[in-house]
Amino acid sequence: MKRTPDGWSRVTSALFYEDAGAAIDWLCRAFGFSVRLKVEGDGGVIEHSQLECGGGVVMVSTARKAKNRQFCVSPRSIGGANTQSLAMYVDDVEAQCERARAAGAAIAMEPETQDYGEDYWADRTCEVVDIEGHHWFFMQRLRG
């Protein structure tokens, strides 16, 4: 395989929010992302952004019903349904959960240990729902 562009992991997720500007600010505050790039269009619409944290990149844009973007919606606009969830390894899942809670995140699962046996791994995991309904799993590797 060819190398990825500098600063990009092999797989990157794109998320859509009704208010992408507010979501970017919130993701930075609640989850520790930083803005690498933000492209604003007419009326402050976020056409494209790149947020990074711990070597990973997430793209965030404004959801809209444009001709070539019918599939780009926020979970908020479809009753909270998600077709993907995001998983992110952190150094301290308890602290990450508290940081998200303090920023107003819904905690769908408090930190708990998932142990898959001595032959596999054990993680401490929490599930957080962001301000428009995307589900995030934060994990801390304990063994493996």
CB 53 within 8 A of CB 101: no
Task: For residues 29 and 56, give the distance between their C-alpha atoms in angstroms, rounded to a whole number.
Answer: 16
Rg, the chain, Cα only: 16
Whole-model pTM: value is 0.89
**Residues 6+ positions from 78 with CB-CB distance below 8 Å:** none
Domains and CATH numbers, the chain: 13-143 (3.10.180.10)
Amino acid at 89: Y
Give pLDDT, residue 48: 94
Q: What is the DSSP letter of 105?
A: -
Give pLDDT, residue 7: 79
Task: For residues 137 and 75, give the distance between their C-alpha atoms in angstroms, rounded to a whole number.
Answer: 16
Q: Give the pLDDT of the chain (144 residues) as one tens digit per residue.
A: 788 888 787 888 999 999 999 999 999 999 999 999 999 999 889 999 999 998 899 999 999 765 666 778 899 888 988 888 999 999 999 999 999 999 999 999 999 999 999 999 999 999 999 999 999 999 999 998
Tokens matching residue 135: 């589900």
